[in-house]
């Protein structure tokens, strides 16, 4: 059921029922946008020399891992395909784009702060959602409110056809995340499937276990919180580094743990992106420390509008370049308060768009 559209064009959908019922209703409602996104992906892959059939063959390899890891999420994906009138493999392909080499771009700056450093003694977290300008234009961004039977209710930001990009659930579990250098890639559980599974969990321990249990396909950094605890998890297919903090965490697009930092190639996506990640990481650290003891939802929203190192700043803008790298844009930004079960989302660069509040019932 489509609930409303805010003045910036971000549609909100709410579904209640079984995984099968929710998936079918979602796929049917967003059929046109899902097909547009699938065709966009096909075009991107074909430009790189990969035919549609080869793309589908590639997606099929991941299906056994997804179904073994989370049968419920797999059922929801099958039902999305049925509702949208597309192939199951095409919905898998949508969830795979983080692992596809053609999408190896640099973006997103995430953070979390505990009650020890926030003004109102509550955990706050958030991020910018930075992606290629073409992806931002062609993947319809939406808010999903999923009320599955006998599971935590979820509200999340995502693309049409995808179950979850990042979000919060009714038990106060939140997930924000970053892309990082691809130290390894293998056939396994795609990152976006792990995100969907984390947001089904009732406790912070279960959320972390959902990351550890996955036969991971790629590399990522997750910032996972509940009402009191914050964790930063850097992961590759073969290993993880789990760090907690009593104060705050912040992360851009390079590994910072001793376990992985020395193995990465910081030029993985071009020297400009390399510099941007370093600046955004340290800029987030500085802005949070400067707000020590005074961090609020509005101050976090202001931090997400920061323009140091513009246009490759925390708040990013797709200005034309002399190099051959596709521009990166902040397609959305948000702040989450797990104790309030709310998230505030800006549909586009935060400096140009207001934040709209979305809450769980």
Rg of the chain in Å (alpha carbons): 19
**Token digits of residue 232:** 């930063």
Query: What distances in angstroms separate CA 287 from CA 249, 254, 290, 312, 339, one per listed residue?
Result: 12, 19, 5, 17, 23
Looking at the chain, the domain(s) classified CATH 3.60.60.10 span 109-359
pLDDT for 322 equals 53
- Condensed to tens digits (0 to 9), the pLDDT of residues 174-226 reads 999 999 988 889 999 999 999 999 999 999 999 999 999 999 999 999 999 99
Q: Are strands 220-225 and 328-337 parallel, antiparallel or unpaired?
A: unpaired
**pLDDT bucket at 15, cuts 50 / 70 / 90:** very high
Percent of the chain at pLDDT exceeding 70: 91
Non-local CB neighbours of 299 within 8 Å, separated by 6+ positions: 291
pLDDT for 105 equals 52
pLDDT for 102 equals 47
Q: Could you give the dihedral angle defined by the CA atoms of residues 137, 191, 189 and 183, in that order, rounded to the nearest 10 degrees?
A: 110
Other Cβ atoms closer than 10 A to 267: 10
pLDDT for 320 equals 54
pLDDT for 276 equals 87
pLDDT for 16 equals 97
Other Cβ atoms closer than 10 A to 325: 15
pLDDT at 114 > cutoff 60? yes
Non-local CB neighbours of 270 within 8 Å, separated by 6+ positions: 106, 323, 325
- Condensed to tens digits (0 to 9), the pLDDT of residues 138-174 reads 999 999 999 999 999 999 999 999 999 999 999 999 9
More confident residue, 76 or 107: 76
pLDDT for 1 equals 40
- Condensed to tens digits (0 to 9), the pLDDT of residues 52-98 reads 999 999 999 999 999 999 999 999 999 999 999 999 999 999 999 89
Cα gap 24→30, rounded to integer Å:
10
pLDDT for 267 equals 56
- Condensed to tens digits (0 to 9), the pLDDT of residues 254-312 reads 999 999 988 876 655 444 446 889 999 999 999 999 999 999 999 999 999 999 999 88
pLDDT at 7 > cutoff 90? no
**pLDDT bucket at 318, cuts 50 / 70 / 90:** confident
- Homologous superfamily (CATH) for 109-359: Penicillin V Acylase; Chain A (3.60.60.10)
Cα gap 265→171, rounded to integer Å:
38
* DSSP per position, 238-288: S-EEEEEESSEEEE-SS--SHHHHTT--TTTT-HHHHHHHHHHHHHHHHHH
**pLDDT bucket at 6, cuts 50 / 70 / 90:** very low
């Amino acid at each position: 059921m489509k609930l409303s559209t805010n003045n910036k064009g971000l549609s909100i959908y709410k579904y209640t029922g079984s995984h099968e019922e929710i998936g079918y209703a979602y796929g049917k409602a967003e059929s046109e946008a899902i097909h547009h996104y699938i065709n966009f992906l096909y075009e991107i892959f074909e430009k790189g020399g990969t035919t549609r059939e080869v793309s589908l063959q590639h997606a099929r390899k991941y299906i056994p891992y997804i179904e073994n890891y989370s049968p419920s999420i797999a059922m929801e994906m099958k039902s999305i395909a049925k509702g949208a009138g597309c192939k199951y493999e095409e919905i898998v392909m949508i969830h795979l784009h983080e692992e596809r080499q053609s999408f190896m771009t640099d973006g997103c700056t995430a953070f979390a702060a505990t009650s020890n450093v926030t003004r109102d003694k509550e955990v706050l977290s958030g991020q910018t959602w930075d992606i290629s300008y073409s992806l931002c234009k062609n993947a319809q961004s939406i808010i999903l409110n999923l009320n599955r039977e006998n599971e935590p209710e979820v509200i999340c930001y995502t693309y049409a056809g995808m179950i979850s990009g990042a979000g919060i659930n009714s038990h106060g579990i939140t997930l924000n995340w970053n892309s990082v250098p691809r130290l390894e890639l293998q056939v396994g559980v795609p990152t976006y499937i792990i995100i969907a599974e984390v947001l089904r969990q009732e406790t912070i321990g279960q959320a972390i276990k959902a990351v550890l249990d996955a036969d991971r396909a790629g590399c990522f950094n997750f910032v996972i919180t509940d009402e009191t605890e914050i964790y930063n998890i850097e992961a590759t297919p073969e290993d993880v580094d789990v760090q907690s903090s009593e104060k705050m965490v912040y992360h851009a697009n390079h590994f910072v743990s001793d376990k992985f930092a020395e193995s990465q190639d910081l030029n993985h996506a071009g020297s400009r992106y390399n510099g941007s990640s370093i600046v955004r990481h340290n800029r987030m650290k500085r802005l949070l420390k400067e707000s020590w003891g005074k961090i609020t939802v509005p101050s976090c929203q202001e931090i997400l509008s920061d323009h140091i190192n513009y246009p490759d700043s925390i708040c990013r803008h797709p200005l034309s370049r002399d190099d051959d790298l596709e521009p990166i844009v902040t397609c959305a930004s948000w702040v989450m308060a797990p104790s309030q079960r709310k998230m505030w989302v800006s549909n586009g660069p935060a400096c140009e768009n207001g934040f709209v509040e979305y809450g769980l019932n």
